[in-house]
Structure 1
């Protein structure tokens, strides 16, 4: 049985690798989608089938990543307090293959330190927060847009970004340790 259509000419990983090479050489702003397509050896239309915009490329396959995040939260022991599951979920979500291309540190530096990407990041951050809000709402029999689930999502995101900023400033720092420290420090502060 033969498949219909053209064979796959590239993959999201190949596009990301090529784009990050170009970003490193010339800066994010100076690189166009046409140049990324040429680097990969595909047409612009093909490239847009994988990523809606250049701003989406640093985020990778973010929709799939969020589905993985939801699965992590569901798979953790549900007899634990909600805040512990959220903390463990955030830690597990932020485990990355050290051999990944592009390296996770490079990806996050681009996302957090490129002004053009900041506006686009707001959209992605809202999606990330909603994963936690949905989980907290389900556990506490609330709606995701109720105040407590929304606050939990917002606080978790802020703590994660703080940890990432510290990680980017210190090449020797361990991301998991920083995530644990930020989340634990706030819980301790609030308990006092």
Structure 2
């Protein structure tokens, strides 16, 4: 454990917060691994009791999900600001990209957290409720636009497709050391909005009879 972590055990720091606990836990997870880090160790490093830890989080796994849950609230707030004349899927792309704009200095921490969520089986097993809340936020927006309910076919499909596309963008971003996360999200969601259509071939490449015009019609 680092000297900084040892110092934390000498007494509860003033104003201990969920954010401070997350930073302490991420440091310990990096040093020891997620499975080998206990709640008691996180609490000790933060200078609080294990009982106090559970006032903040129900488990060490939920500690890593809370910023994801905050993103759900951010999505909901951003959707409320979108003008009615913005096309629905354009609005979805803009909101998801805006909600995932991170400062350059925060990117290493984001990569660490997302890598843990993607690779630790125990964390993956708790993902369902968090992903469902994210997906439903998109479905609710789609339902308002379409005049239906979030659990109707099309709003539900839009929410699930958007979540799957965003997760693909995250996975691609995590697998590379280049680029900004928002670039990956914007590209993937733009492709979703376009229906993942093939690029239009040049007229000269079209098979006979498919080149348009009036000849042969």
When the two structures are superposed, what TM-score results if normalisation uses the length of structure 2?
Answer: 0.79
Q: Deviations over 1:136-168 (max 9, x none)?
A: 111111111111111111111111111111111
Alignment of 1:31 with 2:37, yes or no, is yes
1:186 to 146, 169, 192: 192
Q: How many Å separate the matches in 2 of 1:184 and 1:63?
A: 24
- The equivalent of 1:175 in structure 2 is 181
Q: How many Å separate the matches in 2 of 1:101 and 1:176?
A: 12
- The equivalent of 2:156 in structure 1 is 150
1:60 to 66, 72, 75: 66
- The equivalent of 2:19 in structure 1 is 13
Q: Deviations over 1:64-84 (max 9, x none)?
A: 332221011111222111111
Change (3 A) 1:170 1:61: closer
When the two structures are superposed, what TM-score results if normalisation uses the length of structure 1?
Answer: 0.89
SS in 2 for 1:83: helix
Change (3 A) 1:64 1:180: closer
Contact 1:22 1:36 in 2 (8 A): yes
Runs of at least 5 residues in structure 2 that lack an aligned partner in the other structure: 1-12, 199-217
- The equivalent of 1:3 in structure 2 is none
Q: How many Å separate the matches in 1 of 2:64 and 2:177?
A: 20
Contact 1:17 1:101 in 2 (8 A): no
Q: How many Å separate the matches in 2 of 1:65 and 1:27?
A: 25
Alignment of 1:72 with 2:78, yes or no, is yes
How far residue 102 of structure 1 moved from its aligned partner, in angstroms, is 6.9
- The equivalent of 2:114 in structure 1 is 108
Q: How many Å separate the matches in 2 of 1:113 and 1:92?
A: 26
Bigger radius of gyration among the two: 2
Q: Which structure has greater helix proportion?
A: 1
How far residue 189 of structure 1 moved from its aligned partner, in angstroms, is 4.2
How far residue 62 of structure 1 moved from its aligned partner, in angstroms, is 4.2
Change (3 A) 1:169 1:116: same
Runs of at least 5 residues in structure 1 that lack an aligned partner in the other structure: 1-6
SS in 2 for 1:170: coil
Instruction: Give the aligned length.
Output: 186
How far residue 103 of structure 1 moved from its aligned partner, in angstroms, is 1.6
Q: How many Å separate the matches in 2 of 1:171 and 1:82?
A: 32
Alignment of 1:88 with 2:94, yes or no, is yes
- The equivalent of 2:165 in structure 1 is 159
